[in-house]
Amino acid sequence: MLEVSGLTMRFGGLKAVDGLSFAARAGEITAVIGPNGAGKTTVFNCITGFYRPTEGSIVLTHPSGERFPLQRMPGHRIASAAKVARTFQNIRLFAGMTVLENLLVAQHNRLMASTGFGVLAVLGLSRYPAAERAAVDKARHWLDAIGLTERADDPAGALPYGAQRRLEIARAMCIDPVLLCLDEPAAGLNPRESEELNQLLLKIRGEGCSLLLIEHDMGVVMKISDHIVVLDHGKKISDGTPQDVRADPAVIAAYLGEGEEDEEVEVQA
């Protein structure tokens, strides 16, 4: 559903992403991994409209067959029309709002449209009450999915860290994305919280949403990913199933722990 072809991103003389090509299939979890500075977040920024790529194309295809050239679309249109949602490395909840309000604010555009952006409300023709009920129902669905129904009226900032991570993902899901992009969702989580995250992401995949994630936690990546793309210095060095990637010597050398120091020890032995 997502085709990245020849993606290049330059910042002055620095080439952060260099001719990257990969495909993410519909209904799957695709992980993008690599050492720090490999260009992973830059790729996400290009896909979600924060950066305009220097070269290359990024095409998202909906289940309906409609195609969206993301590299030419402004960021707000990537979210609203192409239905691409995103979370960030640092949690960006509205800490002073309640848990429920955080899920409702994600549906603000839909709620405003139901009032004709105020015009229908003035004429007494507003469809807002029905839209509000639908928004609350959607929020309740995701509150149940993340196990926070009993804390719906608590400030989001009062939640434990792992619960805030899950709430941020649930908020992104309230726009009904076809592609959910997650930037290090397991960062800072303990093993129990990581397992809760795994179950949530598998549930999201089961509901028909495709996922693209950046992650350093190999326990998360290897357990839930259908497909892994490995970057190093802005270039793709491996692309395949978790089993293929785990056994790839280039990945082992660049990312999973076997480097020049290990090779020197073997030579000396």
Q: For the chain, what are the domain ranges?
A: 1-83+179-201+209-269, 90-175
Percent of the chain at pLDDT exceeding 90: 76
Helices in 174-217 by DSSP H: which ranges? 191-206
- Please report how many Cα atoms fall inside a 13 Å half-sphere around the Cα of residue 190, on the Cβ side: 4
Residue 116 has pLDDT above 70, yes or no: no
Residue 257 has pLDDT above 60, yes or no: no
Mean pLDDT is lowest, of 23-27, 79-83, 264-268, for: 264-268
**Cβ(120)–Cβ(132) below 8 Å:** no
Give the pTM: 0.86
User: What is d(CA 163, CA 158) in angstroms, rounded to the nearest whole number?
Assistant: 10
Q: Do domains 1-83+179-201+209-269 and 90-175 have the same CATH topology?
A: yes
Q: Which two tokens stand for residue 137?
A: 């129902």
User: What CATH superfamily is the domain 90-175?
Assistant: P-loop containing nucleotide triphosphate hydrolases (3.40.50.300)
Of residues 132 and 122, more confidently modeled: 132
Q: Which of 57-61, 122-126, 264-268 has the highest mean pLDDT?
A: 57-61
Sign of the dihedral through C-alpha 85, 87, 52, 29: negative
User: What is d(CA 205, CA 30) in angstroms, rounded to the nearest whole number?
Assistant: 11
- Other Cβ atoms within 10 Å of 19 Cβ, number: 14
User: Residue 147 is which amino acid?
Assistant: G
Query: How does residue 129 score in pLDDT terms, banded at 50, 70 and 90?
Result: confident
> Average pLDDT for residues 123-128, to the nearest whole number?
63
User: 40: part of which helix (H) or strand (E)?
Assistant: helix 40-47
Q: Which two tokens stand for residue 113?
A: 């449209």
Average pLDDT, the chain: 89
Most distant pair of Cα atoms in the chain: their distance: 85
User: What is d(CA 41, CA 210) in angstroms, rounded to the nearest whole number?
Assistant: 18
- Other Cβ atoms within 10 Å of 129 Cβ, number: 9
**Amino acid 266: pLDDT:** 38
Of residues 190 and 259, more confidently modeled: 190
**Nearest alpha-carbon partner for 184 in 92, 254, 88:** 88
**Cβ(235)–Cβ(9) below 8 Å:** no
User: What is d(CA 59, CA 228) in angstroms, rounded to the nearest whole number?
Assistant: 19
Match 């249109």 to its residue by tokens: 77
> Average pLDDT for residues 67-92, to the nearest whole number?
93
- Other Cβ atoms within 10 Å of 100 Cβ, number: 19
**Nearest alpha-carbon partner for 32 in 211, 248, 253, 169:** 211
**Amino acid 110: pLDDT:** 77
Query: How does residue 261 score in pLDDT terms, banded at 50, 70 and 90?
Result: very low
Query: How does residue 262 score in pLDDT terms, banded at 50, 70 and 90?
Result: very low
Residue 27 has pLDDT above 50, yes or no: yes
> Average pLDDT for residues 106-117, to the nearest whole number?
76
Helices in 81-190 by DSSP H: which ranges? 99-105, 108-114, 119-122, 128-145, 161-173
Query: How does residue 114 score in pLDDT terms, banded at 50, 70 and 90?
Result: low
The predicted-structure confidence for 218-252, as pLDDT tens digits, reads as follows 889 999 999 999 999 999 999 999 999 988 998 88
CATH number of the structural domain 1-83+179-201+209-269: 3.40.50.300
- Other Cβ atoms within 10 Å of 172 Cβ, number: 21
The predicted-structure confidence for 172-218, as pLDDT tens digits, reads as follows 999 999 999 999 999 999 999 999 999 999 999 999 999 999 998 88
**Amino acid 126: pLDDT:** 64
Residue 104 has pLDDT above 90, yes or no: yes
